[in-house]
């Protein structure tokens, strides 16, 4: 049983030197900046490399594909958002309200950089098995954000299912909005609709909060 480390984005292989960490940061920043300008298509590996001041081969050493790069960018942004959200938690009375409020807040943040959101979400849903670990990390981050908003410290299996469904709705609604097939109002309705599921699994209804 290998003692898996806790917050594990990197496979823990070599502890990056300072200059390497800096390179990584430059690459992620360049990626986010290009994405914010022109979306998925504008994130061209040659341009990212140039903007970050590294050689193309180096870029590929750090991120083995464009998808990996953009998913890592999303990880980065999500972490940022999670921190921000924790500073000002949602104020709603019941969990469903708080989750809906949180997601809509996140949604408005994405609205400010729709092209960046487009690039990240497209990469996320286009990712194949080779990116599973990274996508999974993003998923766990999202789950953490939702559970935070619910105030569920020890979620039961039912609650986890509900959270998964909320995540599904969140991602898919985002996609339909990004591709211009749904309005913001509609996304809001969908989010609020799915959040009603939370009330169905209020503690006591099916999952006893004891133990664990």
Partner DNA sequence: CGCTAATCTAGAACAAGTTACAGACTTGAT
Partner DNA sequence: ATCAAGTCTGTAACTTGTTCTAGATTAGCG
Residues that bind DNA (CB under 7 A): 14, 17, 19-20, 23, 41, 43-46, 53-58, 60-61, 64-67
| By the rule CB under 8 A, 9 interacts with its own copies | no
Under DSSP, the state recorded for 74 is H
Q: How far apart are CA 92 and CA 100, in angstroms?
A: 9
Residues 169 and 194 sit within 8 Å (Cβ to Cβ): yes
| By the rule CB under 8 A, 50 interacts with its own copies | no
| By the rule CB under 8 A, 94 interacts with its own copies | no
Residues 99 and 149 sit within 8 Å (Cβ to Cβ): yes
From DNA, its own copies, none, interface partner of 66 (C-beta below 5 to 8 A by class): DNA
Q: How far apart are CA 173 and CA 187, in angstroms?
A: 6
From its own copies, DNA, none, interface partner of 61 (C-beta below 5 to 8 A by class): DNA
**Among 171, 183, 36, which residue's Cα sits nearest to residue 114?**
36
R_g of the chain computed on alpha carbons: 18
Residues of this chain, 25-44, that bind its own copies according to CB under 8 A? 40
Nearer to DNA, 131 or 163 (CB): 131
| By the rule CB under 8 A, 167 interacts with its own copies | yes
Under DSSP, the state recorded for 23 is H
From DNA, its own copies, none, interface partner of 175 (C-beta below 5 to 8 A by class): its own copies
The contact pattern for its own copies, residues 137-166, with x = CB under 8 A and - = no contact, is --x------------------x--xx-xx-
| By the rule CB under 8 A, 79 interacts with its own copies | no
From its own copies, DNA, none, interface partner of 64 (C-beta below 5 to 8 A by class): DNA
Q: How far apart are CA 59 and CA 56, in angstroms?
A: 5
| By the rule CB under 8 A, 208 interacts with its own copies | no
Query: Burial level of 179, CB count in 10 A (0-12/13-18/19+)?
Result: exposed
Residues 175 and 126 sit within 8 Å (Cβ to Cβ): no
Minimum distance from CB of 113 to DNA (Å)?
19
Tokens found for residue 26: 């430059």
Choices 28-36, 43-51, 75-83, 190-198 (CB under 8 A): range interacting with its own copies: 190-198
Nearer to its own copies, 19 or 129 (CB): 129
């Amino acid at each position: 049983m290998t003692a898996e480390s806790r917050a594990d984005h990197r496979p823990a292989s070599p502890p990056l030197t300072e200059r390497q960490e800096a390179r990584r940061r430059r690459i992620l920043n360049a990626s986010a900046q290009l994405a914010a300008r022109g979306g998925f298509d504008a994130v061209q590996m040659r341009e990212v490399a140039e903007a970050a001041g590294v050689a193309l081969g180096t870029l590929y050493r750090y991120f083995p594909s464009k998808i990996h790069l953009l998913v890592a960018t999303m990880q980065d942004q999500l972490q940022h958002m999670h921190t921000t959200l924790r500073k000002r938690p949602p104020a709603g009375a019941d969990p469903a309200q708080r989750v809906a409020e949180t997601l809509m807040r996140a949604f408005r943040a994405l609205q400010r950089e729709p092209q960046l959101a487009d690039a990240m979400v497209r990469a996320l849903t286009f990712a194949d098995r080779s990116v599973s670990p990274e996508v999974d990390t993003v998923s766990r981050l999202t789950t953490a954000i939702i559970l935070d908003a619910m105030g569920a410290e020890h979620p039961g299996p039912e609650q986890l299912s509900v959270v998964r469904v909320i995540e599904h709705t969140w991602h898919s609604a985002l996609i339909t909005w990004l591709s211009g097939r749904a309005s913001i109002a509609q996304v809001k309705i969908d989010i609020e609709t799915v959040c009603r599921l939370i009330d169905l699994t209020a503690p006591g209804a099916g999952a006893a909060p004891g133990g664990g």
